[in-house]
Amino acid sequence: MKEKLLYLEESKEEMQKEQFCKTSFERMFMSFDPPVPGTWQQNTSSTASHMVYLALSSNLGDRQQNLALALEKLAPVVHIQTISSTYETEPLGYLDQPRFLNMVCGGETTYEPWELLLAVKALEVAIGRRPSFRNGPRVIDIDILLYDQLVVKQENLVIPHPGIAERAFVLVPLAEIAPTIVEPGSGRTVQELLAHIAQEGVTKIVSADKFPS
């Protein structure tokens, strides 16, 4: 009981950030046509294309279907070029919840980092995510892991994603599709980072070529 109360207290900041992203997203798209989440397209006014890697996870409902739906809805935002296998892992932090399915996808986008963040947070809501306590269960979670070799440290946006170097459930699928890419925060490749952490409890359950389209 005390553990859950602690996480409920810690969740206030995370819920505020989610609300910030949701509000900012709504404001940003007020001038777009149509201003409806889920109808945006790639930014054709910019010719610059950026390589991004996103982590997807789910532990509520039909987890595999949630991941597939997230990939489908990401298509107008990121031209997905590669996806990892799906891995099942124990929850991190708050343990009294179902196991997670995790995967990573990589692709190109014309969105700037802030635009991408707002878009993926809106996608989470569209798929069914609701505010919860920190590290709590969620229908879908989409995190920006890498954006080119960019390093961003702002209040509501940090790239590379915090904790990427210590999380096997992120590094294992990322190493599967991009082992030699350099994580700019450490200067090490993904493969090198993975070699320095324990990988127990990360179980492949669906190979990338078996993932439902």
- Structural domain harbouring 130: 2-210
Q: How far apart are CA 16 and CA 125, in angstroms?
A: 15
Work out the mean pLDDT of the chain and round it to a whole number. 82
Residues 118-158 pLDDT 10s: 999 999 999 998 777 576 688 999 999 999 999 999 988 99
Decide if 138 is catalytic: yes
Q: What integer is the mean pLDDT of 19-40?
A: 41
> By three-state DSSP, how is residue 151 classified?
coil
> By three-state DSSP, how is residue 91 classified?
coil
Decide if 99 is catalytic: no
Decide if 143 is catalytic: yes
CATH code where residue 121 lies: 3.30.70.560
Decide if 27 is catalytic: no
Name the catalytic one among 62, 96, 129, 188.
129
pTM over 0.85: no
Name the catalytic one among 96, 130, 141, 167.
141
Q: Residues 6 or more apart from 163 whose CB is under 8 A from it?
A: 170
Q: How far apart are CA 120 and CA 122, in angstroms?
A: 5
> Sorting pLDDT into bands at 50, 70 and 90, what band is 95?
low
pLDDT of res. 46: 55
Name the catalytic one among 143, 148, 167, 188.
143
Residues 155-172 pLDDT 10s: 889 999 998 999 999 999
Name the catalytic one among 134, 138, 148, 209.
138
Structural domains counted in the chain: 1
